[in-house]
Chain A
Amino acid sequence: MTAPYFELGYFGARGALVAALVIGIAFGWCLESAGMGSARKLAGQFYLTDLTVFKVMFTAIVTAMLGAFWLGRLGVLDLTRVYVPETYLVPQLVGGLIFGVGFALGGLCPGTSCVAAATGRLDGVALVAGMWSGVLATGLFFPALERFYERTPRGALTLPQLAHVPYGVAVLLVVLAALGGFLVAERIEAKVRTSVTPAAPDEMRRTVAPVVEGVGA
């Protein structure tokens, strides 16, 4: 096993922060180039007019999942040293439901709002400010929420453990689900294109109101 490098002591805390910045830059670059810094594009996901969010997210999940699985299988990556987010069933389901309402209302998620804000979108700035205020307020009231927050802990539980199937079988099922999802997504978008959209490509149709034109490049 040669990875994960940080966990195995190849570099220290300062190196980890350099890695954080480099990985963050690559993350932000990918989000922006896919159009994920655009609230209008993201909102299209919820009205089934633009399924970019689904396609980008599910492709990324499948890519990283397959990479982690095969690097683990080949003995390159020690998966027991990769942090798997711990499961707390009820708070994560409830948190997800609340998060979804905010996502539909705001049109961006926390990561994509940072991209929107950094590329000049003031609605992105407003969402970053709202998110920050929401986290601050929830943190201040945390003592009242703590019992709920700690409910139904299941540790680092994974889908293959839950379903009692081998890791590779769960990976294959997720890949098949993704491929099925992509087929459905393409069909939905094709239907939308033939029924409503005029000739102009999606990205170029700006019904947004520029506050100041021509800032930047």
Chain B
Amino acid sequence: MIARSVDASPRPYANPYVAGVALGLVLLAAFVVMGRGLGASGAFASSAAGVVAAAAPEAARANSYFAKYLGGDGPWLDWLLIEIVGVGMGGFLSALVARRLRLEIERGPRLASGARLTAAFGGGAVMGLGAVLARGCTSGQALTGGALLSVGSWLFVAGAFAAAYLVAPLLRRLWT
């Protein structure tokens, strides 16, 4: 074996417009193959329904939110749950090939690791509430509904970005 270049530095990210076109083609493929779009928060909902159903089957069936995910093949074979497993695999493979895998806590220069993890957990919990009320998140509403010109999806996008820009100045010390 001839020693190839031992440059193991992470490769730079793709051009955002090229990546955007590729992502758009994946979304289009979902329309063409499945007749539905992409999603993420639905995977959280169906797995939560699965856990509730395992712990308290009666309560899960009595809850009209969780009950939606308990029909058909059950919550663990939900289409979006399998899709999100794929998202993790695809992200891992892309990072592996581009040498971007790395165990770390991404945070601002002035923020302690614990504070970053708390903010991430808290932000996730708040998004959980928002995504349930909005019937989706940046994947199911913004991308999918956005491309299909759904009024509610564009309303969701407008609300999400307006709120994010309003609170971001108050959260400046998280990132600067």
Name A residues whose Cβ lies closer than 8 Å to a Cβ of B: 3-7, 13, 16-17, 19-35, 37-41, 43-44, 46-47, 52, 55-65, 67-68, 71, 76-77, 81-89, 91-124, 126-140, 142-143, 145-146, 148-149, 154, 156-162, 167, 170-171, 174, 182, 201, 203-204, 207-217
- Of chain A, the residue at the smallest CB distance from B19 is A34
| Contact between chains at A109 and B138 (CB < 8 Å) | yes
Complex interface: chain A residues within 8 A of B4 (CB): none
> Is B57 an interface residue when CB atoms closer than 8 A count as contact?
no
Q: Give CA–CA (A207, B108) in the complex, Å.
A: 7
| Contact between chains at B32 and A101 (CB < 8 Å) | no
Q: Give CA–CA (A43, B122) in the complex, Å.
A: 15
Using A17-B82, A122-B104 as known contacts, say yes or no to A138 and B152 having CB atoms under 8 A apart. Answer: no
- Of chain B, the residue at the smallest CB distance from A156 is B150
Q: What is the predominant secondary structure among interface residues of chain B facing chain A?
A: helix
1/0 contact trace for B89-125 toward A, CB 8 Å?
Answer: 1111111111111111111110001001111111111
| Contact between chains at A32 and B137 (CB < 8 Å) | no
Q: Give CA–CA (A1, B155) in the complex, Å.
A: 31
Report 11 cross-chain contacts, Cβ distance below 8 Å, ordered by A residue: A20-B79, A27-B86, A27-B139, A28-B88, A32-B92, A33-B19, A34-B16, A55-B20, A122-B103, A122-B105, A203-B12
| Contact between chains at A132 and B47 (CB < 8 Å) | yes
Q: Give CA–CA (A171, B149) in the complex, Å.
A: 8
Report A191 CB to chain B, min CB distance, Å.
Answer: 17
Q: Give CA–CA (A61, B88) in the complex, Å.
A: 22
Q: Which of B127, B156, B160 contacts A134 (CB 8 A)?
A: B127
1/0 contact trace for B42-68 toward A, CB 8 Å?
Answer: 001101110110000000000111100
Complex interface: chain B residues within 8 A of A7 (CB): 34-35
Report A149 CB to chain B, min CB distance, Å.
Answer: 6
Report A55 CB to chain B, min CB distance, Å.
Answer: 4
| Contact between chains at A158 and B149 (CB < 8 Å) | yes
Complex interface: chain B residues within 8 A of A120 (CB): 95, 101-104
